[in-house]
Structure 1
């Protein structure tokens, strides 16, 4: 056993992260884990687990999964992907280990027949929004995602930080996440090609993984950028370390979330917590997170004209963007602190297990 590894026999819940490529779901798991672990004996298993995340190994799952938990008869296996749910069902029904399976659903679509079959055979379902819940055919509890308002927070002097970063122009527009059509990157580029010539102080920063299947898509975008002579002001920064993302969210003055579709979509909330104004499409949970006209603007997905029209007032009036960012920070603090989400998840665990997790 590694020195910082938890002992499964002392745990009442395990969250697997079985996706070997870092993703938005991974980010959610890692953000929640420390907060949930403060409320009960809980750990994670899988990939991309930083040292501060309570964790165990698969060796323990397969060697100690039959052991009695510290209270009650079962532990929680909290899956967020189909493959994790499959593993949980195998552990419970094939190996006969002591698990109750919980699944978090964030999608805005009808599940596959296989997913629906699995959902009927587990012990509890969490939906991240009312919209996601409407696609479920099984009972669920709605627990909205939150944001770590201590990790994501405004910079003391954004303009000075921008200057120190050595980036072109005087302020930034950001869009962070996978670079692909589903995320609306092409819509944002089209809007930026129209706006940046009129606002020479603005620079667009894009971070995120470009998978091999999206290289042609990105090459086409870069050709358009080069043809417009804007290579120095539309920057693809690549996949950034998780620990540096709060800096990028706080550094830009405007965050754009141009997704064509989304299950939940946490980045607008991370931008709000960072004191950054937001323009987002009405997909996922954005309409509940972004107060239209107060913390940013909401637009239809896939609409270049609407996106450019929403971005332009905030590029033309930095003071308005700053005020919207401050309002977003206040809303994140008042309504979307991740500590609330963690407490509701633990309460649901206790309901499913029929025991209290505190004091173990």
Structure 2
């Protein structure tokens, strides 16, 4: 049963107007409970969100014509165009008591329509400094955080591998996320085909969902793996709700994307004590410390990816050292608590500037 709460008690609304699970949806699901623990009365609205989160009903939006019990305007935190537009209509045409905050993760020139929407925001958050460069309005950079309790190093990596049906004696390189060319899954496969024959103690795992339009792409990868006689060492394990356990089983993570908005996978791997080799897309260069928590490659550069992967898997001491460094880096710089606190502060600053 959905946990509906009274809009009278709500200070912030976090809408989710996209049914299909996405990175934005995942962000809302993780952040809202943390924000509430910090004392913020925040609720969600829309589809595709867990029933246990506090929800508000659209039919109660007439209450937005009135301020909160403390006399403040409510905050509407949009993360997509389809969430900005209705907020602008409610605030500017219907004169409802709203202030609008928008979070942008995009790293490309915005279309005129999107620029117009963003120009109407009361506050704008960028998820990285790269993203901030594409915004033409004042903004605050707040990078995504990671749940350090859910994503944490395995207590015993061999036991974790065994529980997942994997050979506990093998080292594992992983590539997680949707299986498609944009995500560079083919670069990972080509890298493993080149490296694994010379390193018998390593296997590779590909975890993630393949949507209908990318089935042929996945089939081509599996055919290439079969032709290399590596079907028993490059494994497609599908999509899992316990993905943290799969990260815990890894020894090295590879993020070979050709494009990415932000990219949470290096955070998830790092929180589990696994260093990452990543292409220079999204916020990866702002997450990874070169030669300390992982390494960066140019976009779409298979040769450099192979070179760096060999470097890591042939130096187990380095893998272990960087694994410890990356967990500490996540704890100090990328906790979900830090992100939630910074966003709550932005809400407060938005309200205070309005009062001023």
Matched residue SS, 2:124: strand
Shift of 1:73: 3.8
Instruction: State the 1:52 CA deviation.
Output: 4.8
- Structure 1 position 148 matched with structure 2 position 169: no
Specify the alignment match of 1:163 in structure 2.
162
Cα distance change, pair 207–180 in 1 and its aligned pair in 2 (3 A): same
Deviation at 1:318, TM superposition (A): 2.9
Matches within 5 A, 1:248-267: 248-267=246-265
Counting only pairs closer than 5 Å after superposition, residues 183-222 of structure 1 correspond to structure 2 as 183-222=183-222
Corresponding residue for residue 41 of structure 1: 41
Distance in structure 1 (CA, Å) of the matches to 2:103 and 2:275: 29
- Match of 1:109? 108
- How does the TM-score come out when normalised to structure 2? 0.93
| Partner in structure 1 of residue 291 of structure 2 | 293
TM superposition shift of 1:94: 4.1
CA distance in 1 between counterparts of 2:271 and 2:129 reads 22
Does the CA contact (< 8 Å) of 1:72 and 1:355 recur in 2? Answer: no
The answer to whether the Cα contact below 8 Å between 2:126 and 2:132 also exists between their aligned partners in 1 is: yes
Structure 2 distance, partners of 1:11, 1:67, is 12
Aligned residue-pair number = 352
Gaps of 5+ in 2: none
TM-score by length of 1: 0.92
Identify the residue that residue 68 of structure 1 maps to in structure 2: 67
Match of 1:65, SS? helix
Kindly provide the CA deviation profile for residues 35-54 of structure 1, in whole angstroms up to 9, marking residues without a partner as x. Answer: 11222111112233235533
In the alignment, the residues of structure 1 paired with residue 208 and residue 8 of structure 2 have an alpha-carbon distance, to the nearest angstrom, of: 38
Deviation, structure 1 residue 331: 0.8
Aligned partners of 1:238 and 1:166: how far apart in 2? 14
Alignment of 1:1-360 (within 5 A): 4-39=3-38, 40-61=40-61, 63-168=62-167, 170-241=170-241, 244-354=242-352
Could you say what secondary structure the match of 2:304 adopts? Answer: helix
Once the 2 structures are TM-superposed, how far is the Cα of residue 172 of structure 1 from its aligned partner?
Answer: 1.9
Question: Kindly tell me: are residues 237 and 70 of structure 1, through their superposed partners in 2, closer, same or farther at Cα, counting changes over 3 Å?
Answer: farther
Q: What is the CA-CA distance between 1:307 and the residue it aligns to?
A: 0.7
Change (3 A) 1:224 1:240: same
The unaligned stretches of length 5 or more in structure 1 are none
| TM superposition shift of 1:196 | 1.5
* CA spacing shift, 1:247–1:164, aligned 2, 3 Å: closer
Matches of 1:163 and 1:122, distance apart in 2:
50
Which of 1 and 2 has higher RCO (CA within 8 Å, sep 6+)?
A: 1
Relative to structure 1, the CA distance from residue 51 to residue 249 in structure 2 (aligned partners, 3 Å threshold; closer, same or farther) is: farther
* CA distances 1:242-277 after superposition (whole Å, capped 9, x unpaired): xx1221222211111111122221211111111111
Secondary structure of the residue aligned to 1:45 is strand
| 1:19-72 alpha-carbon deviations (Å, 9 max, x no partner) | 2111122222212111112221111122332355333333434x5333432223
Runs of 4+ in 1 over 6 A off after TM superposition: none
Kept after mapping to 1: 8 A contact 2:2/2:51? no
Alignment root-mean-square deviation, CA: 1.9
The secondary structure found in structure 1 opposite 2:4 is coil
Change (3 A) 1:177 1:3: closer
